[in-house]
Structure 1
Amino acid sequence: MFRKLDDTISVAAQIDPADLAEAKRQGFVAIVNNRPDGEQPGQPTDAEMAAAAGAQGLAYVAIPITHAGFTDAQVTAMGEALAAAGGPVLAYCRSGTRSTYVWALARAAAGDDAAALTAKAAAAGYDISGLWR
């Protein structure tokens, strides 16, 4: 269910409030929601997820990303969320792909090697090679 990119972050497809107890059990300290409200009928709202994360003692940040692409502000916010977490982060969106992309862009902005980021993503089942072209 949760796909580990590295020791600092895992990504997931849409989770629901009940999944946050498992995230806590697995040692995550923060949740990043990369999915905008209302993207698909029936998905939990940002407010529901924030409340559920708080009930589990997990930090929570919403950085909604649409299919239109990524902004510098979103990449910066992701980098800040990762830095502030103080432990493993679970980021989610519809499939985990947007979360993987924004993580890679944030880490590349911090100076991480693009090839290493691509390899980490590929090991988790995500092809982000198009980011660097």
Structure 2
Amino acid sequence: MHESRFRQVAADFFVAPQLGTEDFAAARAAGIRTVINNRPDGEAPDQLGDAEARALAEAAGLAYAFVPVTTGSIGPDTVAAFAAAVERNLGPYLAYCRSGTRSCHMWAFMAARRRPPQEIVEAAAAAGYDLSPVLPVLRRLAGEG
């Protein structure tokens, strides 16, 4: 993947599909400081596992966090773990999974406490992700509903 496939959803936050070995150096060159891996180990035979991704991130001078998310299992504990990974590290951040969709959802749920939900949906759409089905959830998280 080339750095242009890192999809910006906020000034300091990007999401991406599965990273390859060369993407960690590209992320660093693009100014990323922390990579968050949302892909559980063993999800697909061609993915980088946590240990290998961690080693590549560290070799590129990046902070790294592993917050695995299985499809359909995003809940308060997962979002809290994601937010903690962000709080413990410096941005800009790049979160990734198979397609970037789970990572975009994680960012959105975390961001809902400080950004207007409609703005979050629009930022995701500009990056190529449709979060309109979760707008009611974002509104509840933001205290709007």
TM-score scaled to structure 1, two decimals?
Answer: 0.94
* Partners of 1:66 and 1:11 in 2: CA distance: 16
Tell me what 1:17 maps to: 21
* Partners of 1:111 and 1:26 in 2: CA distance: 26
* Identical positions, percent: 42
* Partners of 2:88 and 2:121 in 1: CA distance: 23
Tell me what 2:93 maps to: 89
Query: Does the 8 A contact of 2:121 with 2:135 survive in 1?
Result: no
Tell me what 1:118 maps to: 121
Tell me what 2:48 maps to: 44
Tell me what 2:130 maps to: 127
Poorly superposed stretches of 4+, deviation over 3 Å: none
Shift of 1:79: 1.6
* Partners of 2:86 and 2:110 in 1: CA distance: 9
Range moving further from structure 2, 73-82 or 19-28: 73-82
1:71 matched to 2:75? The reply is yes
Shift of 1:81: 2.1
* Partners of 1:97 and 1:124 in 2: CA distance: 10
1:34 matched to 2:70? The reply is no
Tell me what 1:7 maps to: 11
Aligned residues: 132
* Partners of 1:115 and 1:128 in 2: CA distance: 10
Structure 1 gap ranges (5+):
none
Shift of 1:125: 0.6
Tell me what 1:103 maps to: 107
Shift of 1:87: 1.9
Q: Which amino acid aligns with 1:37?
A: D
Shift of 1:46: 0.6
Shift of 1:41: 1.1
* Partners of 1:28 and 1:83 in 2: CA distance: 15
TM-score scaled to structure 2, two decimals?
Answer: 0.86
- Provide the secondary structure at the position in 2 that maps to 1:36: coil
Range moving further from structure 2, 74-83 or 18-27: 74-83
